[in-house]
Amino acid sequence: MLFQGFLNLNKPSDWTSHDCVARVRKLLRLKRVGHAGTLDPAATGVLPIALGKATRLLQYLPENKAYKATIRLGVRTTTDDLEGEIINSQPCAGLSLAEVKTVLAQFEGKIEQIPPSYSAIQVDGKRLYDLARKGEIVEVPVRTVEIFHIEILDWREGDFPELDVAIACGSGTYIRAIARDLGAILKTGGTLAALIRTQSSGFDLTDSLTLSDLETKLQAGTFQPFAPDAALQHLLSVTLPATSAQKWCQGQRVSLNSDVTGMVRVYEEETRFLGVGELQDEVLIPQMVFEPIS
């Protein structure tokens, strides 16, 4: 069976995003498989995986994400999480939740963030984690990211207190960097102890499948991916009559009486998803034709 659409995978711990794609490719016997939003190996949670022609839709998925994270204070590591070597460890039993709350508020909104040294960002064509493993010191570029909301879920006192938070953020945000920078401002040190991605690219953890779930459904013949347009609901939609739909699917621009501008989902007769187009001055320009009409 040729699958076309999206798999909302609950990534297991200690698997890279690439490992997951390779496993799904093997299970589904499908060559064209890709993912949105890389997750660190230690992290778990939502990893959207595109199947078949849906890989061409990855670039149009919404970028916002949400996480549940545990931050351990009093510890600094090389990787800004517990996977790295400890740089410094200092008990901070006297730290109060009130102090943490005051500082945490500084992270909401648009902020400047320096990504972890061990990350997939490229500098001069080389991945930062490759340079870090070689002991090379490079200047990591600062980036602007947006944190929409941070909610404190739990606080556990002790020599190395832990803070559980829910974070909603934009693309490119490193939760490890938030843990590191929170500890730096508090002058205690901080590192990421656990991370679960609860939302990504329009998919939610509650609707996700583990690799084991996927195998079970495949064996039972009950696996059905999300429809290709399920991840594009953040885009407005337009419907074309049959004649215009055929022209559009052949790569031609078509006129459309609409005051909408920007990227849109394109349908024929409201039900058949054709692809993604861009509306400019009442002209619909093909961007990605998913379902050509013969």
- The catalytic residues are 40
Within 13 Å, how many C-alpha atoms sit on residue 242's CB side? 1
Name 156's Cβ contacts closer than 8 Å, sequence gap at least 6. 162, 163
Are residues 192 and 162 in contact, defined by beta-carbon separation less than 8 angstroms?
A: no
Whole-number Å distance between alpha carbons of 222 and 218: 6
Within 13 Å, how many C-alpha atoms sit on residue 63's CB side? 10
- Of 257, 262, 264, 265, the C-alpha closest to 282 is 257
